[in-house]
Amino acid sequence: MLNYQKYKRVPVMNYPEREWPNKQIEKAPMWCSVDLRDGNQALIEPMVVEEKIEMFNLLVKLGFKAIEIGFPSASQIEYDFLRELVDRKLIPDDVTIQVLVQCREHLIKRTFESLEGIKNAVVHIYNSTSTLQRDVVFGLEKDAIKQIAIEGTKLVKKYAEEFPGKITLEYSPESFTGTELDYALEVCTAVQETWEPDEDNKIIFNLPATVEMTTPNVYADQIEWMHRHFKDRENIIISVHPHNDRGTGVAAAELALLAGADRVEGTLFGNGERTGNVDVLTVAYNMFSQGINPELELEHVNEIIEIYERCCKIPVHVRHPYAGKLVFTAFSGSHQDAINKGIRAMRDRGQEIWEVPYLPIDPCDVGREYEPLVRINSQSGKGGVAFVMDTYFGYKLPKPMHKEFADVIQKMSEQQGEVAPDQIMAKFEEEYLQAAEPFEFLKVRVEDIGDTDSHAKLLFKYNDEDILAEADGNGPIDAVKNAIEEHVGMELKVLDYSEHSLAVGSDAKAAAYIQLMDKKTGNITYGVGLSSNITRASVKAMFSAMNRLSRKEK
């Protein structure tokens, strides 16, 4: 049995004043990518400079206006990367570079050296304030920990005053979620008083869930409490930085926005320490799916995946929200049926607002237009097979035929697993279009008799013997049927007929579907015929059905 007694529960807050549960996200927050810092510091192989540049360019293209590019005082590669960005003039004027550093003078000094030539930067200092880290990492009391933050702020202030560009201070009480709230506020307020921000020079207080310790509602309570207790709130940008240890980083970010946060720090696909940082893409796509402009350029998710996977060397999971290979694909029958109907309903109604069962967004909106929405395996049903035949190959199988053909495909899938669209088509050809035994259609000529009746003259093979047959009927199909019946001793009844053209253009082919009953046996089946001439397509459909009926008899 799991030794659950080894762990203690994080208490919920007694905070009845909370207002966030009644709020809704109304607009995009300020986004800050920490891919090149928190993401990079968690990689087995951290990115090399060229990979960092590729990632940086991607982040700029996606519309991030704040990008934490690293910890330049930590290593030469981090330092050199920032210098490359400056020297190659890769930082657009509207993008602010952010750098992380501990509250230690030699590191802060080196950080400012790395920033030379930059017009606008955020210097992000942190020190852990949690009860646990105060105890086991620093071995310091509250005042001494607060003093680290104050000293760090003073140092940044000193170097900032000498720095020609504009410096914004970001301070993180690291491990905020493990810190007593009144103490976190006390430390932040000390930093605020030291830095002296105003409305034109706001300070960023980043309140990280360095380790996600409990349910996201508790994080929201903590953020709302800070939001309401900060003094001179108008001079402060509240930033959140959730990690994803419990798998609820996205929920934590969203609830924190309800609770008063202005800014979200996170990474693409949630790369980052341990289970990762919050996935900013998912937070943004979630907004988008609610009709809110996420203010990021996220139309080409495949391109984002490709660059991310190359730079981070981590594959995006097939079930990853909005991005995974399988997230716009249904295998199961009832889902496929509903998607099929939903897409058709939208098309028929000319509806602009997206409403398709099981698809929260239109895959085309994120560049996934070639996505196989429906993939066929043994869990699939008739709607899915019909959808594949229609969307891939243009065959609009009549509704009563869906089951007949789906049964054939299900047998295949039970034997082989997934059945690809081309295999479905090959089976369709084998079953309906290619059969020439015992009946092989050769020629037909149909003439009108008066307004309603027809005369058919037909040449076909039956068990390899040429047969010339003719008969009248109350239409072309009836005349052909009568001609056949006279010669082969079958009694047929046409139960259903439909046709459609297969492609637009002068050599457009018609597909005809006939459902025939063999009156002697009671067997029923569809046949399909294909021709540029609709009468020939119908007659071929009848021969296709007769061959299938003969096969059933055996």
Ligand X SMILES: CC(=O)SCCNC(=O)CCNC(=O)[C@H](O)C(C)(C)COP(=O)(O)OP(=O)(O)OC[C@H]1O[C@@H](n2cnc3c(N)ncnc32)[C@H](O)[C@@H]1OP(=O)(O)O
Ligand Y SMILES: CC(C)C(=O)C(=O)O
Annotated binding residues, written as ranges, equal 38, 241, 243, 277
Residue 125 beta carbon to ligand X: minimum distance, rounded to whole angstroms: 7
The tokens describing 99, both together, are 């750098």
E strand or H helix that includes residue 32: strand 30-33
Report the candidate in 234, 228, 188, 233 with the shortest Cα–Cα distance to residue 207.
188
Residue 292 beta carbon to ligand X: minimum distance, rounded to whole angstroms: 30
Q: Which does 327 bind (CB under 5 to 8 A by kind): ligand Y, Mg ion, ligand X, none?
A: none
Q: Which does 259 bind (CB under 5 to 8 A by kind): Mg ion, ligand X, ligand Y, none?
A: none
* Binding-site sequence positions for Mg(2+): 38, 241, 243, 277
The tokens describing 118, both together, are 């930059």
Residue choice 31, 126, 219, 460 for contact with ligand X (CB under 6 A): 126
Residue choice 35, 68, 174, 431 for contact with ligand X (CB under 6 A): 174
Using CA atoms, how far apart are residues 353 and 350, in angstroms rounded to an integer?
Answer: 9
Q: Which does 502 bind (CB under 5 to 8 A by kind): ligand Y, Mg ion, ligand X, none?
A: none
Using CA atoms, how far apart are residues 446 and 539, in angstroms rounded to an integer?
Answer: 11
Residue 38 beta carbon to ligand Y: minimum distance, rounded to whole angstroms: 5
Q: Please give the size of the binding site for ligand X, defined by CB under 6 A.
A: 15
| 38 in contact with ligand X (CB under 6 A) | yes
Would you say 138 or 393 has its CB closer to ligand X? 138
Report the candidate in 434, 459, 409 with the shortest Cα–Cα distance to residue 548.
434
- CA distances (Å), 393 to each of 96, 396, 477, 539, 547, in order? 50, 9, 26, 22, 23
Burial 7-35 (b: 16+ CB within 10 A, else e): eeeeeeeebeebebeeeeeeebbbbbbbb
Report the candidate in 387, 434, 447, 449 with the shortest Cα–Cα distance to residue 551.
434
Angle of helix 216-229 relative to helix 181-195, nearest 10 degrees?
40
The tokens describing 465, both together, are 């013997």
Phi, psi of 208 (to 5 degrees): -80, 145
Report the candidate in 461, 396, 452, 386 with the shortest Cα–Cα distance to residue 424.
386
Using CA atoms, how far apart are residues 48 and 46, in angstroms rounded to an integer?
Answer: 7
Q: Which does 172 bind (CB under 5 to 8 A by kind): ligand X, ligand Y, Mg ion, none?
A: ligand Y
Would you say 265 or 404 has its CB closer to Mg ion? 265
With beta carbons less than 8 A apart as the criterion, state whether 475 and 453 touch.
yes
Residue 209 beta carbon to Mg ion: minimum distance, rounded to whole angstroms: 9
Residue 261 beta carbon to ligand X: minimum distance, rounded to whole angstroms: 18
Residue 241 beta carbon to ligand Y: minimum distance, rounded to whole angstroms: 5
β-bridge partners, 124: 100, 170
- Using CB under 6 A, which residues numbered 49 to 108 contact ligand X? 71, 74-75, 102-104, 107
The tokens describing 259, both together, are 């609770």
Would you say 206 or 378 has its CB closer to ligand Y? 206
Q: Which does 102 bind (CB under 5 to 8 A by kind): ligand Y, ligand X, Mg ion, none?
A: ligand X
The tokens describing 440, both together, are 């092989």
Q: Which does 74 bind (CB under 5 to 8 A by kind): Mg ion, ligand Y, ligand X, none?
A: ligand X
- Using CB under 6 A, which residues numbered 200 to 239 contact ligand X? 210
Residue 164 beta carbon to Mg ion: minimum distance, rounded to whole angstroms: 30
| 380 in contact with ligand X (CB under 6 A) | no
E strand or H helix that includes residue 511: strand 510-518
Query: 3-state SS string over 440-490?
Result: EEEEEEEEEECCCEEEEEEEEEECCEEEEEEEEECCHHHHHHHHHHHHHCC
The mark string for 27-56 relative to Mg ion (x by CB under 5 A, - otherwise) is -----------x------------------
Q: Which residues here bind ligand Y, judged by CB under 6 A?
A: 38, 100, 126, 172, 174, 206, 208, 210, 241, 243
CB atoms within 10 A of CB 376: 27
The mark string for 130-149 relative to ligand X (x by CB under 6 A, - otherwise) is --------x---------x-
Would you say 100 or 401 has its CB closer to ligand X? 100
β-bridge partners, 527: 514
Residue 141 beta carbon to ligand Y: minimum distance, rounded to whole angstroms: 21
Would you say 110 or 325 has its CB closer to ligand Y? 110
Residue 27 beta carbon to ligand X: minimum distance, rounded to whole angstroms: 28
Would you say 38 or 404 has its CB closer to Mg ion? 38
The tokens describing 464, both together, are 């390899």
CB neighbours of 40 closer than 8 A, spacing ≥ 6?
Answer: 46, 47, 52, 70
Would you say 83 or 104 has its CB closer to ligand X? 104
Using CA atoms, how far apart are residues 129 and 265, in angstroms rounded to an integer?
Answer: 19
Q: Which does 206 bind (CB under 5 to 8 A by kind): ligand X, Mg ion, ligand Y, none?
A: ligand Y
Report the candidate in 354, 358, 364 with the shortest Cα–Cα distance to residue 330.
358
Would you say 104 or 341 has its CB closer to ligand X? 104
Residue 253 beta carbon to ligand X: minimum distance, rounded to whole angstroms: 17
Count of residues making up the chain: 554
Would you say 70 or 383 has its CB closer to ligand X? 70
Would you say 197 or 208 has its CB closer to ligand Y? 208
Residue 265 beta carbon to ligand Y: minimum distance, rounded to whole angstroms: 7
Q: Which does 127 bind (CB under 5 to 8 A by kind): ligand X, Mg ion, ligand Y, none?
A: ligand X
Would you say 124 or 375 has its CB closer to ligand Y? 124
CB neighbours of 271 closer than 8 A, spacing ≥ 6?
Answer: 35, 39, 42, 43, 277, 308, 312, 314
Q: Which does 69 bind (CB under 5 to 8 A by kind): ligand X, ligand Y, Mg ion, none?
A: none
Binding site for ligand X (CB under 6 A): 38, 41, 71, 74-75, 102-104, 107, 126-127, 138, 148, 174, 210
Residues that bind Mg ion (CB under 5 A): 38
